[in-house]
A and B are shown apart, each in its own frame.
Chain A
Amino acid sequence: ELKVEQNPLFLSMQEGKNYTIYCNYSTTSDRLYWYRQDPGKSLESLFVLLSNGAVKQEGRLMASLDTKARLSTLHITAAVHDLSATYFCAVDLTQGGSEKLVFGKGTKLTVNP
């Protein structure tokens, strides 16, 4: 059974600071996704990481994937209030022609002025 664990689950940080969210998963997979969800809203796709060593960046967010360690990180640089949201990682598990997407529980990020 694939398990996806995110740490921390809650993160309160000050504007201008840097921080990293971690996503560990238990079974081999080469595809990992990051999503953002604003309070009361739907989900938005942020990053798709498709291979070991993949790195994607957009604005103050940078995601990376280490498939050997089964670890992805979402790094926040110089946080601003607009980044306050819940961030989910999800891992794509393919078995016998069947595909499933398993989510972590999410990291609720609050950026304080």
Chain B
Amino acid sequence: EAQVTQNPRYLITVTGKKLTVTCSQNMNHEYMSWYRQDPGLGLRQIYYSMNVEVTDKGDVPEGYKVSRKEKRNFPLILESPSPNQTSLYFCASSKTGGFYEQYFGPGTRLTVT
């Protein structure tokens, strides 16, 4: 079954404690992205990757890091989480250039206290 998986699905952590949210897709897609969703602000793109070792910033990259060492995986790293990073995070992948027919993961709800 074609899918994008994220782990963990829920996470409560404290300010400053480094964390990684994993994202994996089994469709051999080249493009992968991370978004955050906040009430009243909608969805905003954090980072995206066009292929292995190729990444670029989205609209709100501050406080986040990504890496793309393998085609299937695109982890999101918060080196020193802060409360304003409390959000719902979605990973997505798409086959071709751009954002055509993105497949979204189930989401990770992160709370930073």
Binding site for B on A (CB under 8 A): 31, 33, 35, 41-45, 48, 88, 90, 92, 98-106
Main SS class of interface, A: strand
The answer to whether B100 touches A43, judged by C-beta atoms less than 8 angstroms apart, is: no
Instruction: Give 10 nearest A-B pairs by CB, closest first.
Output: A105-B42, A103-B43, A42-B104, A43-B104, A101-B99, A45-B101, A103-B42, A101-B45, A42-B106, A48-B100
Contacts of B42 in A (CB 8 A): 88, 103-106
The number of residues on chain B lying at the interface, defined by a beta carbon within 8 Å of a beta carbon of chain A, is 25
Q: Does B98 contact A (CB under 8 A)?
A: yes
B77 CB, nearest partner CB in chain A, Å: 20
Contacts of B25 in A (CB 8 A): none
Most chain A beta carbons < 10 A, residue from B41, B42, B45, B104: B42
A100-B59, A102-B59, A104-B42 are contacts. A90–B104 as well, Cβ < 8 Å? no
A78 CB, nearest partner CB in chain B, Å: 26
Task: Identify the closest chain A residue to B102 (Cβ).
Answer: A45
The answer to whether B48 touches A99, judged by C-beta atoms less than 8 angstroms apart, is: yes
Contacts of B40 in A (CB 8 A): 105
Contacts of A48 in B (CB 8 A): 100-101
Contacts of B50 in A (CB 8 A): 99
Contacts of B58 in A (CB 8 A): 100-101
A99-B48, A99-B98, A104-B42 are contacts. A44–B56 as well, Cβ < 8 Å? no
A99-B98, A100-B58 are contacts. A45–B103 as well, Cβ < 8 Å? yes
Contacts of B103 in A (CB 8 A): 45
